[in-house]
Structure 1
Amino acid sequence: MTMAMAMACFASRQAIAFNQILAASVVPVVILYLLLQCPIISGISQGATK
């Protein structure tokens, strides 16, 4: 199941759970950034000193 399909499951005919949709879309990005923080920062630093 793709991320868009998973987020569409949170929307029902009665109401849309915006808090759950926002959490489902933000949390994976934050986790990915925390895991790759060192390579991201070092890549930015190397690109800035050229």
Structure 2
Amino acid sequence: MIPKSSLWIIPLQKAAKNLVSAASSAERKIELEKQVECAVYLCKIEEGEEMGF
């Protein structure tokens, strides 16, 4: 049994877990966006657009 004085900790722990998972998914999203930007840039170079050919 959890002492009543400790009950307020449980919602904080849940909120902290939610924040951590949101932050890690945001990091993954940013990483994916960077990878997509790099892929698009490399495709443009291969097609000669960036080089001005």
TM-score range relative to shorter protein: 0.3 to 0.5
Greater RCO (Cα-Cα under 8 Å, separation 6 or more):
1
TM-score (norm 1): 0.42
TM-score (norm 2): 0.40
